[in-house]
Amino acid sequence: MKVLLILDGLCDVPAPQLGYKTPLQVAGSATLRDMRAHGAHGFFDTCPPGREPDSMGCILTLLGVEAQRIPDGRACLEAMALGLPVREGDLWLRVSLAAVSASGELLSAVGAGLSAEELCEAARLLRALEAGGCSYFPAGDYRGLVCLPGRAGWMGRLSLPLPHQNLGKPLAALLPRGREEAALLRGLIRKSGELLAPLAREDRRYLLLPWGGAVKGRLPAFMELHGLRAGGVCAAGIVRGICAAMEIDCPSLPGATADWDTDLAGKLRAARNMWDHDFLLLHLNGADECAHRRDPVGKARFLSRVERELLAPLYAALGAEDSLLVCGDHGTNSQTGRHERGAQPFWLRSPHRRGDLGTLPGTAAVGLLRGETLPPASIAHDETSREE
């Protein structure tokens, strides 16, 4: 078995709340230390050139998809994860449940201040959302999708800032600009705020912000790329969508939340149940979610749980010919809530490799698990996310 364990948003900056250590340094991991000492280690350059660091592009890179085959947006993949029909000619947008201060600044892109029950109520209220023939689909917690039928041609005309990369900025600077498409989306934003008015506080109100447009495309099947039968253990919508598009077996996981409270023991059981596959993608999203909430303490606690409840027992169960590769996809700064590019650390347990392997292209990850010849070392675009 060849296992790729991706800890989404792993790298971080030293946090004053943690005594100026990073969440990973505070959490510690005897398993990662052992993998470094007795296996191989290095860094992956995961972010496709010219793109913002996000899970879709970085994870597809780690799965061996070349930059030119990576879609421009991820909304269609998330729609596929929900089992929604994705048709030629339609435009799909991601939408985030945003909190806006009384003075008009973006406080949060993850519905900060709402309880789990209120997030469910928000999804119920938003069922009435319609503007210009578009349809809204809840995608869990603060996430949602909007389909604009027949408007795929808008893809190149829309400029939609990423909410989670613009915290603290005035809402007015983040609204769509332009002609017909901007007017429709501004109407959608305004209508969402009206529907969510019952959830407003004295210091904040809630609305949806659209971003991440996508149209239907095609990703290569994992078998086509690597000749391996692959399984996936994941709950995040984008990763389940990647699995659907790349024909990676991906069972439903009761208790998996794609957040800090996910059932890690259940994910470990699901991984062991897929040991008849050649390759396993195991994705954990909790560290990234904590960082988006600017919670380095929660991120450290989640990483400690990962070591105890999943990584250590998984490592102990590996056979002599099994390989395990642990890495991040991108950094997520828990002081700003933003994704960050840079070289991402990896730790490898394999019968084929030992020592420091330097910085490699992210597309080399699956080949590294297989013991293939290493590609030429790459130079990371930005060293800021380096962490061991």
Q: Is the pLDDT of residue 71 over 90?
A: no
- Confidence band for 386, pLDDT divided at 50, 70 and 90: low
Residue 235: HSE in the Cβ half-sphere, 13 Å Cα cutoff:
21
- What is the C-alpha separation between 198 and 140, in angstroms, rounded? 20
Return mean pLDDT, the chain. Answer: 92
φ and ψ of 112, to 5 deg: -55, 135
Q: What is the model's pLDDT at position 208?
A: 95
> How high is the pLDDT of residue 105?
96
Do 289 and 259 form a contact (C-beta atoms < 8 A)? yes
Q: What 3 state SS string does the chain have? A: CEEEEEECCCCCCCEHHHCCECHHHHHCCHHHHHHHHHCEEEEEECCCCCCCCCHHHHHHHHCCCCHHHCCCCCHHHHHHHCCCCCCCCCEEEEEEEEEEECCCEEEECCCCCCCHHHHHHHHHHHHHCCCCCCEEEECCCCEEEEEECCCHHHCCCCCCCCHHHCCCCEHHHHCCCCCHHHHHHHHHHHHHHHHCHHHCCCCEEEEEEEEEEECCCCCCCHHHHHCCCEEEECCCHHHHHHHHHCCCECCCCCCCCCCCCCCHHHHHHHHHHCCCCCEEEEEECHHHHHHHCCCHHHHHHHHHHHHHHHHHHHHHHCCCCCEEEEEECCEECCCCCCEECCCEEEEEECCCCCEEEEEEEHHHHHHHHHCCCCCCCCCCCCCCCCCC
| pLDDT confidence of residue 134 | 82
* 244 close to 77: Cβ distance less than 8 angstroms: yes
Structure confidence at residue 384 as a pLDDT band (50, 70, 90): low
Write down the pLDDT at residue 388.
62
Q: For residue 369, give the amino acid letter.
A: L
Domain coordinates in residue numbering, the chain: 2-71+219-370, 86-214
Q: pLDDT confidence of 132, banded at 50, 70, 90?
A: low
Which residue from 255, 220, 265, 212 is spatially nearest to 235, judged by alpha carbons? Answer: 255
CA 297-161-150 angle, 5° bins: 125
Mean pLDDT over 345-362 rounds to 95
pTM, 2 dp: 0.81
Q: What band does 131 get if pLDDT is binned at 50, 70 and 90? A: low
Residue at token pair 């893809």: 155
Task: Please give the torsion angle defined by the CA atoms of residues 96, 97, 100 and 104, in that order, rounded to the nearest 10 degrees.
Answer: 40
- pLDDT band at residue 74 using 50, 70 and 90 as cut-offs: confident
Letter string b/e over residues 181-219, b meaning 16 or more CB atoms within 10 A of that residue's CB: bbebbbebbebbbebbeebbeeebbbbbbbbbbbbbeeb
What is the CATH number that goes with domain 2-71+219-370? 3.40.720.10
pLDDT surpassing 60 at residue 382: no
Q: Can you tell me the mean pLDDT for 219-247?
A: 95
Q: How many residues does the chain have?
A: 388
Average pLDDT over residues 4-16: 97
Q: Does the pLDDT of residue 312 top 70, yes or no?
A: yes
